[in-house]
Amino acid sequence: MHLLAGAFAALLLAAPAAGQTVVVTGTDGAAVALSVADIAALPRQSVTLSIHGEAHVFEGPSLASVLERVDAPLGERLRGPALLTHVTVRAADGYGVVLSLAEIDPALSPTAVLLADEVDGAAIGLEDGPFRLVVEGDARPARSARQVTAITVSAAD
Which residues would be at the binding site for Mo ion (CB under 5 A)?
142
Which backbone phi and psi does 105 adopt, to 5 degrees? -80, 115
45, 62, 144, 152: which one binds ligand MTE (CB under 6 A)? 144
CA atoms within 13 A on the CB side of 96: 9
145, 151, 152, 153: which one binds ligand MTE (CB under 6 A)? 145
Integer Cα distance of 106 and 122 in angstroms: 25
The nearer residue to ligand MTE, 116 or 153, going by C-beta atoms, is 116
Selection from 60, 70, 49 nearest residue 154 by Cα? 70
Piece of 26-34, 71-79, 104-112, 145-153 that binds ligand MTE (CB under 6 A): 145-153
Q: Residue 134 interacts with ligand MTE (CB under 6 A)? A: no
Tell me the pairing of strands 21-25 and 31-35: antiparallel
Piece of 13-21, 23-31, 76-84, 91-99 that binds ligand MTE (CB under 6 A): 91-99
The nearer residue to ligand MTE, 42 or 97, going by C-beta atoms, is 97
Site string for ligand MTE, 23-62 (x = CB under 6 A): ----------------------------xx----------
Q: Which does 115 bind (CB under 5 to 8 A by kind): ligand MTE, Mo ion, none?
A: none
Selection from 139, 147, 124, 131 nearest residue 48 by Cα? 139
Which string of DSSP letters, residue by residue, matches 105-132?
-TTT-SS-EEEE-EETTEEPPTTT-S-E
